[in-house]
Homo-oligomer: A and B are copies of this chain.
Amino acid sequence: MSAPVAIVCGGGGFPLAVADAARRAGREVFLVGLHGAADPDIAAFPHIWLKLGEFGKLFRALAERDIRSLAIVGNLTRPDFSDLRLDFGGVKRLPDIARILRGGDDHALRGVVRFFEDEGFAVLGAHELAPALLIGEGLVTRRAPDEAAREDIAMGLALGDGLSPFDCGQAVIVAGRRVVAVEAAEGTDAMIQRVGQLRASGKLRLKGRAGVLVKAPKRGQDLRVDLPAIGPRTIAAAADAELAGVALAAGGVLVLERAALAAEADRAGLFLVGVAPRPTGP
């Protein structure tokens, strides 16, 4: 039997979903829970708890189990130096850590991957451990996008592509061929809520269910550390904002609690569709 793969667990439901899917696929897992972030239920798997910065403890635990590959899954608030509880193993790696904490989100995440690779680990993505969680191409809901929604989807994919070099969000909302919201630091759900508020205040006027949330990885994005994801809360937010539906890049977005999410979308009358991402030029 091969050594387990470690899953470094941030916040939210994804770490457990990925651990569960990996185990179903016959893969042994070892969970590393970050204090204050990870779900206490990781205790259902072999695991340890760590504070951010306890790299010595982390690497000892992995070495003891002969673990040479890991994935980083879940929400992590961009930490500050003052959040770090560096043990001796952390202090030794301080220059690397300092380098990681500078720059954009992409830079930070790429830095984390490089950091673990430099330590000799293979860094996997949640999409590799649990490919069944990725959305495929095709319709998930009963309702399908109409002609207007398909135009909005095409525009959203093109816009996301245009934003790719700039290390900002992965989601946009397009309504009637008009870009009404672009995600950056606020996150997808907050962006959707903003559109709902703009509609409620009359500042943004759209008729009936209108607007499509389009979410896709950036071109060249390293899915090992920054895999776009949605869960039932995203659908609930889209329903509250009276969007027409949600379009996700097939093979590029992780879907949490798919059955509950599809039921929620059907109940709200939203469409949810996996679409082929824009073809990449040569």
Binding site for B on A (CB under 8 A): 77-78, 80, 102-105, 107, 155, 158-159, 162-163, 165-169, 172-173, 176-187, 194-195, 198, 202-205
Contacts and interface: CB of A to CB of B under 8 A. Distances in A.
Nearest to A173: B184
A179 B186 CA distance: 11
A12 to B, nearest CB: 14
A198 B169 CA distance: 15
B202 A194 contact: no
Contacts of A159: 163, 166, 168
A184 B185 contact: no
Contacts of A78: 205
Contact of A163 (B162, B167, B185): B162
Nearest to A178: B104
A103 B177 contact: yes
B166 A103 contact: no
B176 A184 contact: no
Nearest to A102: B176
A171 to B, nearest CB: 11
Nearest to A158: B166
Contacts of A179: 104, 166-168, 184-185
Nearest to A187: B203
A107 B178 CA distance: 9
A202 B198 CA distance: 24
A107 B102 CA distance: 40
Contacts of A180: 168, 184-185
Contacts of A173: 184
A80 B177 CA distance: 16
A14 to B, nearest CB: 18
The list of the 6 closest CB pairs from A to B, nearest first, reads A168-B179, A182-B182, A104-B178, A180-B185, A185-B204, A181-B184
